[in-house]
């Protein structure tokens, strides 16, 4: 009988509980024992690993729609690769994780994480040399190479759309513009998709340069005196400082455009999981369990052209934009961004949405 561990790492999002539930029941049907590692890598950094043994009643079916992670992803004082690097205890931390994994005697570990977690898994392969490592990509940023979708992205888009739908009503009532700042770090997928879906008049993302004067001109020329400007948190504006939404707001105010800023923040990572994300979590869970049955290791589940398959972590890592991790010395992260060929960019131009200097 195989013994399988599940661990969620990095930021939370919707769809994690769906994946955990499906992994649990799929594993039980195969006759496998399954445990959950609590609080991500922090759960492995203690002398006695923090784990929970799953059975058919551990995570009720009615709760799988909920956001967040049943296993938790850590807390403010949690031990992880980043905190270990900051305190100069990176090697010591790695040794603790290795000892805990040895104690648990796992045949396989399913790691559900973002591009940072998956990059760390690839660069620290020695940690998982004695078991099968299967990764499942989740992030609202959609910044993981080699997969068309990540768990949590669709729900985050819906959360932003619902948020902006309500803002639009008060915007109309008071003849004002709202600059909504989204999450996404250096990737603009979330802002682009949500902005297009809800009808923003301008969408600013890190991947595309924009001219602030052209943006102001565009807004002043709109037939309405209200609307939404979607701004990704990763944009920059030469000669300006502060939060991106505040920078845009100041420029609009200087031109006489009445506006307010809005920060949905962690609302984007919450919300009942959409059906699309639930189906994605289900497909990726099943793919991960099949990978274990096939004795695969160091692979990631990926949705490519409508089909879920596994690719090697090496392929994931080498096909992204590899950058130095800002928080962990001598560590690299593989990132994906909005492609210049993304059809939404052309549609934005065709629909008269200001998107910046699209080539």
Which residues are known to be catalytic? 141
**In b/e form, how buried is each residue of 68-82, taking b as 16+ CB within 10 angstroms?**
ebbbbbbeeebbbbb
**In b/e form, how buried is each residue of 152-191, taking b as 16+ CB within 10 angstroms?**
bbbbbbbbbbebbeebbeebeeeebbbbbbbbbbbbbbbb
SS3 assignment, position 138: strand
For 97, 106, 200, 226, the CA distances from 117, given in Å and listed in that order, are: 14, 19, 32, 41
The two three-digit tokens of residue 199, written as one number: 């009808």
Q: Are 39 and 56 in contact (CB under 8 A)?
A: no
* Rounded CA separation 323/341 (Å): 22
Instruction: List phi, psi (to 5°) of 168.
Output: -60, -35
Tell me, rounded to whole angstroms, the distance of Cα 51 from its chain centroid. 24
What single-letter DSSP state applies at residue 274? Answer: P
The residue among 134, 84, 144 whose CA lies nearest residue 114 is: 144
* Rounded CA separation 201/224 (Å): 10
Q: Are 17 and 64 in contact (CB under 8 A)?
A: yes
């Amino acid at each position: 009988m195989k013994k399988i561990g599940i661990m969620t790492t990095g930021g939370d999002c919707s769809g994690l509980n769906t994946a955990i539930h499906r992994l649990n029941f799929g594993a039980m049907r195969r006759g496998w024992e399954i445990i959950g590692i609590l609080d991500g890598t922090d759960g492995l950094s203690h002398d006695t690993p923090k784990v929970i043994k799953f059975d058919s009643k551990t995570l009720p079916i009615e709760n799988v729609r909920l956001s967040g992670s049943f296993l938790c992803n850590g807390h403010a004082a949690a031990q992880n690769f980043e905190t270990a690097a900051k305190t100069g205890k990176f090697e010591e931390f790695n040794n603790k994780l290795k000892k805990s994994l040895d104690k648990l005697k796992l045949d396989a570990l399913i790691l559900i994480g973002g591009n940072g977690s998956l990059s760390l898994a690839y660069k620290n392969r020695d940690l998982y040399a004695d078991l099968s490592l299967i990764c499942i990509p989740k992030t609202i940023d959609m910044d993981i190479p080699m997969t068309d979708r990540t768990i949590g992205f669709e729900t985050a888009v819906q959360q932003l759309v619902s948020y902006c739908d309500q803002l639009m009503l008060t915007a109309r009532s008071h003849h004002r513009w709202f600059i909504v700042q989204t999450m996404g770090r250096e990737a603009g997928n979330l802002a682009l998709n949500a902005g297009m879906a809800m009808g923003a008049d301008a969408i600013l993302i890190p991947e595309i340069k924009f001219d602030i004067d052209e943006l102001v001109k565009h807004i002043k020329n709109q037939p309405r005196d209200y609307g939404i400007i979607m701004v990704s948190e990763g944009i920059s504006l030469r000669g300006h400082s502060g939060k991106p939404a505040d920078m845009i707001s100041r420029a609009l105010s200087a031109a006489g455009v009445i506006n307010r800023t809005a920060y949905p923040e962690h609302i984007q990572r919450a919300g009942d999981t959409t059906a699309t994300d639930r189906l994605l979590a289900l497909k990726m869970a099943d793919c991960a369990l099949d990978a274990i049955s096939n004795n695969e290791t160091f692979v990631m589940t990926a949705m490519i052209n409508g089909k879920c398959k596994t690719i090697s972590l090496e392929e994931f890592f080498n096909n992204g934009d590899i950058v130095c991790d800002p928080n962990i010395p001598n560590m690299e992260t593989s990132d994906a961004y909005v492609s210049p060929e993304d059809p939404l960019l052309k549609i934005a131009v065709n629909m008269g949405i200001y998107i910046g200097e699209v080539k």
